[in-house]
Homo-oligomer: A and B are copies of this chain.
């Protein structure tokens, strides 16, 4: 549905400028050049639109990071790549990133709060995985605190990137933060965050990740995808889930086929998790 995409694009602009609450459905429909009724044909409420935007961006963003961390051949460039890909994502989807910065703690309502915290924890998990991969057992005492430092850097420097008018220099930024992180990992002795992530709020155990859930995502992707290779890959992956026959390499290749297709990003992410690639 083209209209749905149009609404998401235009509303993103408005939300980035004004925030969620301050942007009315009227403004959105006006910018789209459609009527109010048409809006409610695509989304059953303003809230649903917001949740859809969050999903779209966070899935993209997190799967990018996850892919980078998992597929890093060596540790040499991992930290740099992590920062680079993160800031590049924020830069590319700057409109969403701006909203994210503004509304993060706002939690307009419960469902949005739940969703954001869910993605937030996935992000922390990805960073923690990276820290463990990079520094191993040497940093066991300080690793949770280190994750927090990394998150600190990302937050503040992303803000600088998004809201200052200077031209971003992503290479230097990634280098600078990678250096800082390495320095802290090497010399820090007094951590503050020590007990892992105190979940601010207990998230109902998500069923994502089970075989059935992944198949549901594959079916959904199948409906939305046109291209034949992606379609075939999805079908094969579904069959493989039901009755395993293929080798690891073949499965990995199939996932690789769909990983960059807009409608398959989350499906690919779940599959990578499932097969532990």
Min Cβ gap A135→B in Å is: 15
Min Cβ gap A161→B in Å is: 10
* Alpha-carbon distance A152/B169, docked complex (angstroms): 19
Hey, which chain B residues are within 8 Å of A153, CB to CB?
149, 152
> Is A187 in contact with B187, judged by CB distance below 8 angstroms?
yes
* Alpha-carbon distance A94/B198, docked complex (angstroms): 20
Hey, which chain B residues are within 8 Å of A149, CB to CB?
153, 180
> Is B189 in contact with A159, judged by CB distance below 8 angstroms?
no
Hey, which chain B residues are within 8 Å of A21, CB to CB?
21-22
Copies in the complex: 2
Q: Residues of A with Cβ closer than 8 Å to B?
A: 19, 21-22, 101-102, 105-106, 108, 145, 148-149, 151-153, 155-157, 159-160, 163-166, 169, 172-173, 175-177, 179-180, 183-184, 187-193, 198, 200
Q: What are 20 residue pairs bridging A and B, where the CB atoms are less than 8 Å apart in the complex? A: A21-B21, A145-B176, A152-B156, A152-B157, A155-B155, A155-B156, A157-B192, A160-B193, A164-B200, A165-B198, A165-B200, A166-B198, A176-B190, A177-B192, A179-B189, A183-B183, A183-B184, A183-B187, A183-B188, A187-B187
